Amino acid sequence: AAGEPATAAHAMRGHVMAVPVPSGDDPDGDGYIPANPPVTGVQPSTDIPPHRYFHEFQANCSVTHTGSVDPIVYPGQLNKSHNHTFMGNDTTDENSTTASLSAGGTACKAPGDLSAYWIPTLYNGDQEVRPVGPQTIYYKAGVTDYTSVRPFPKGLRFVVGNPMQTADEFRNHPGKVEGWECGESYNNFEFPATCPSRPDVQLNLRMQAPSCWDGQHLDTPD
């Protein structure tokens, strides 16, 4: 899940994957993969936390490889998807499962973080442009009532964005975020027209994942 600046640059209206563990774990093929155990009995708190509290943790994961696969949308299908840039787990491919990722290696700074993340690959003409250095994925409470936040289970996968959205639908979507950034240029829905030629400046893109989960399913058919 990416909710703050990251140096990963990719197509704003393409779908973006930020996935602890992708597909391949659905033995009956109905598309519903239950969490075991489910998260139940969460009661929202009426307490207002002290203002000084701000709860988040960060995953810093580097790029491992690229490929025209998408384990969530097109599981088991090679070259079905547009090209993606993969970060984190170094084994992610069209056949990835919870078990295969758990047995893989990682390009995340935390050695136990075997999560897999992928985004549409950015191109300059026909040349891939990969993100530079570790990419920052922020996990944070999107609510002030942090006492009712629960950790998601191993195996959860989710998709951020919708490639079928029009530009207008994206601009007016309640979940939209700042988009492309470069130097002092922010809030861009398209590539910034100019980018300062300095070593401390990179093209950034903010993407924001959902801040809630049904507590029941690791994945659903849609």
Which residues does residue 33 pair with via DSSP β-bridges, in sequence order?
Answer: 219
* pLDDT for the residue numbered 6: 31
**Could you tell me the sign of the dihedral formed by the alpha carbons of 165, 217, 3, 46, in that order?**
positive
* pLDDT for the residue numbered 67: 96
Reduce the DSSP state of residue 101 to 3 states and report it. helix
Q: Please state, in angstroms and rounded to a whole number, the distance separating the CA atoms of residues 156 and 33.
A: 9
User: For each of the chain's 222 residues, which pLDDT tens digit applies?
Assistant: 333 333 333 333 333 333 444 445 777 878 888 888 888 888 877 777 666 666 788 999 999 999 999 999 898 999 999 999 999 999 999 999 889 999 999 999 999 999 999 999 999 899 999 988 899 888 877 666 777 778 888 889 888 877 788 878 877 877 676 678 888 888 888 888 788 888 888 888 877 777 778 889 998 887
Q: What is the pLDDT of residues 4-32, one digit of tens each?
A: 333 333 333 333 333 444 445 777 878 88
Q: Please state, in angstroms and rounded to a whole number, the distance separating the CA atoms of residues 94 and 91.
A: 10
**Tokens describing residue 63:** 């790029």
Burial of 165 (0-12, 13-18, 19+ CB in 10 A): middle
Q: What is the pLDDT of residues 95-129, one digit of tens each?
A: 998 899 999 999 999 999 999 999 999 998 999 99
Cβ partners under 8 Å of residue 179, min gap 6: 12, 187, 188, 189, 205, 206
Distance in Å from the first CA to the final CA of the chain: 18
Distances (CA, A) of 24 to 28, 73, 75, 216: 11, 11, 7, 18
